[in-house]
Amino acid sequence: MSSESLSVPVLFHLSTAAIPQTASFEGKGAAWFFGSICFHCKNSKKKFFFYCVTALFQLSVALPSTFPVTSTQPERMFGVVVVGVGRAGSVRIRDLQTPPPPADPLKLIGFVSRRELGNINEAKQISLQDALSSAEVDVAYICNENISHEEYIRQFLRAGKHVLVEYPMALSLASAQELWKIAEEKGKILHEEHIELLMEEFAFLKNEVAGKELMEGTLHFTGGPLDKGKFGFIAFSAISRLSWLVSLFGELSFISATMEERKEDQYQKMTVHLETVDKRPLTWIEERGPELKRERHVNFLFESGRLESLPPPAQGNKNIFLRDQHIFVKKLLGQMSTEDLAKEKKRILHCLEIADEIQKYC
């Protein structure tokens, strides 16, 4: 069949079919299309003009459905302020300034700090009051000391901002429940970071535990001393260990707890006895002192055998805060199911409830 015998609709159909999915309209298919019109209408200027106008109209109607346009920019950007510029806050600022593609729809407005720091890597320092009142700020990242989390969360939620907070969100179950109530009343997201559940070591444990019947187990963490005045009671500052145990073995019952402490040596050793719903004993030991390396030790006995070691930390943990941010953005965009949100909230509150019980005994 020659191009002279083709109608404009047929030419259009063939030409659009010839355009590769990754090509733009200026690609080979479009060139073939208009070249065919030129050949078909070479002896009639009027016919050429008429076919071109008709073809362009058909293209304007058909191309959007043939090649859906996907914008490289999100529909809206959320302005973010970071409160606290310690280790976590600095990493959050870095991730907001240089996100790898695909970037989250977040824009760093500035940071809040009690210290006068000026700018950090072009991020400007702003006052707390400006952060609370600014229409540019939609989100607050709370990254300062644990004892300050509750009050900052409350202020930003009441100011109508979404909140991402490093764990723990509060130093009591009652306070956390109050904060979640405020978030729900304001229609805002309250996200507590739990990067420990994104670590490769946890993924390894989850895979090893799956389908096995636990007989008994111990999780023992060692690390340097923490200032209780800044980080709160040890069961709250170390709540990520509880988060591991609850995520691996389900809801736990508190049995007892003891605390060995030598303040002059900055030494603490907390031993907590827990129980699964199947009455299997679990022990959590949190030990801190100047000479102790940051390590996790496990000893889980199953009917099928014993697990006594974790793999060494891997490079997969490198962008762990960024992965947590992706989860937060899913919540902002309404892309997380109500069921998953409720499950996460239940786990967080359950861990805080156990920490409350431990504090009463210690």
CB 48 within 8 A of CB 8: no
**24, pLDDT greater than 60:** no
pLDDT digits (tens, 9 = 90+) for 308-322: 999 887 665 788 999
The region of weakest confidence among 23-37, 93-107, 174-188 is 23-37
Determine the Cα–Cα distance for residues 233 and 145; give it in Å rounded to an integer: 12
Q: Grade residue 44 by pLDDT with cuts at 50, 70 and 90.
A: low
**362, pLDDT greater than 60:** yes
Residue 311 pLDDT: 85
Q: Which helix or strand (DSSP H or E) is residue 75 part of?
A: none
The residue that leads in pLDDT, 98 or 359, is 359
CB 78 within 8 A of CB 50: no
Three-state DSSP class for 275?
strand
pLDDT digits (tens, 9 = 90+) for 285-303: 999 999 999 999 999 999 9
Tell me the percentage of the chain whose pLDDT exceeds 90. Answer: 72
What's the chain's length in residues?
362
Asked whether the whole model's pTM tops 0.75, one would answer yes
- Nearest-Å Rg of the Cα atoms of the chain is 29
- The catalytic residues are 166-167, 193, 196, 240-241
The region of weakest confidence among 2-16, 29-43, 142-156 is 2-16
Residue 47 pLDDT: 52
Three-state DSSP class for 233?
coil
**343, pLDDT greater than 60:** yes
Listing DSSP states for 106-168 in one string gives EEEEEEE-SS---EETTEEB--HHHHHH-TT--EEEE-S-HHHHHHHHHHHHHTT-EEEEESP
Cβ burial, residue 64 (10 Å; 0-12/13-18/19+): exposed
The residue that leads in pLDDT, 17 or 174, is 174
Determine the Cα–Cα distance for residues 194 and 324; give it in Å rounded to an integer: 7
Q: Grade residue 102 by pLDDT with cuts at 50, 70 and 90.
A: confident
As a whole number, the mean pLDDT across the chain is 84
